[in-house]
């Protein structure tokens, strides 16, 4: 691994950045690849533009952990995502600012949409669907009305890699399962847990094992996802606890975890639970 050229290591990290956990794990390796992964994590960033009532408010840069960064070394080649945060406060559908969107289109990186309002119409839906580099949607409102129409159209485009739902009701579960079956799709996030979700996912895997292989669903809370068919793995990471089975593995994340903690103590601080299909 030490003999790998830096250019190859750089290209590897660029590709792997689409699976955010990968660079962190590679950074633990020794040699060229490990050191470059550490370098990459320090350099890679995202940029978010905030629109309120159709008017540009501000923008900011963020590191891989989601923390705002004021680094002066933010080169375009290290831009992972450029996001649009869409907000409304006046109850009206805002006008589309063509000049702003032209400038937004010139930004480097893939596209991410953070939708915090129902106040979009067919023109906005057409605009968002036209983004060929749109890879992530983060829906902060219930999946109904126009936001639901938008996701249905994006489902037809087969381009999303990740989808975040703050809610977890019937529509979110149904649409989430449809996206999981798409070849390019990688990871589905829910801001809360609904027992029906796990039932639907279990049934989906039984019918579509190959299509779900390598994909994951994340719940942003402490959810008991493993049963007696899973075996606990030896812990090597302060913040992560894994249980593995033939059908995949589950992981629990505790940001304040330590290797000295008992499993019971660790689980009390879990804030994110993941099921990964094999």
C-alpha distances in Å from residue 66, one per residue of 47, 63, 91, 227:
10, 5, 29, 32
Contact between 230 and 244 (Cβ < 8 Å): yes
Give the pLDDT score at 73. 86
Q: Greater confidence, 202 or 21?
A: 202
pLDDT band, very low/low/confident/very high, at 262 (cuts 50, 70, 90):
very high
Q: Greater confidence, 72 or 8?
A: 72
Render pLDDT for 192-239 as a digit per residue (tens, 0 to 9). 999 999 999 999 999 999 999 999 999 999 999 999 999 999 999 999
Q: Does residue 13 surpass a pLDDT of 70?
A: no
Which residues pair with residue 217 across a beta bridge? Answer: 188, 275
Q: Does residue 8 surpass a pLDDT of 60?
A: no
CA pair distance 15, 224, nearest whole angstrom: 32
Average pLDDT over residues 139-155: 99
Give the pLDDT score at 30. 61
Give the pLDDT score at 187. 98
């Amino acid at each position: 691994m030490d003999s790998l050229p830096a250019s190859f290591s750089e290209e590897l990290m660029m590709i792997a950045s689409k699976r955010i956990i990968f660079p962190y794990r590679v950074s633990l390796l020794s040699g060229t690849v490990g050191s470059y992964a550490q370098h990459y994590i320090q350099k890679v960033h995202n940029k978010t533009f905030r629109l309120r009532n159709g008017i540009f408010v501000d923008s900011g840069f963020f590191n891989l952990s989601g923390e705002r960064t004021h680094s002066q070394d933010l080169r375009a080649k290290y831009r992972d995502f450029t996001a649009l945060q869409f907000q409304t406060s006046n109850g009206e559908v805002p006008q589309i600012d063509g000049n702003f969107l032209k400038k937004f289109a010139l930004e480097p990186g893939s596209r991410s949409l953070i939708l915090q309002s129902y106040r979009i119409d067919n023109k906005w839906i057409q605009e968002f669907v036209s983004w060929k580099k749109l890879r992530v949607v983060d829906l902060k409102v219930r999946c109904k009305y126009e936001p639901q129409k938008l996701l249905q159209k994006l489902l037809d485009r087969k381009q999303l890699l990740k989808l975040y739902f703050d809610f977890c009701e019937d529509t979110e579960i149904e649409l989430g399962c449809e996206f999981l079956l798409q070849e390019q799709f990688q990871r589905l996030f829910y801001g809360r847990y609904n027992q029906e979700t796990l039932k639907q996912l279990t049934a989906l895997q039984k019918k579509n094992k190959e299509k779900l292989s390598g994909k994951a669903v994340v719940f942003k809370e402490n959810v008991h996802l493993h049963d007696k068919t899973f075996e606990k793995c030896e812990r090597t990471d302060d913040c992560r606890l894994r249980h593995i089975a033939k059908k995949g593995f589950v992981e629990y994340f505790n940001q304040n975890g330590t290797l000295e903690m008992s499993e019971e103590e660790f689980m009390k601080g879990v804030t994110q639970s993941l099921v990964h299909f094999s």
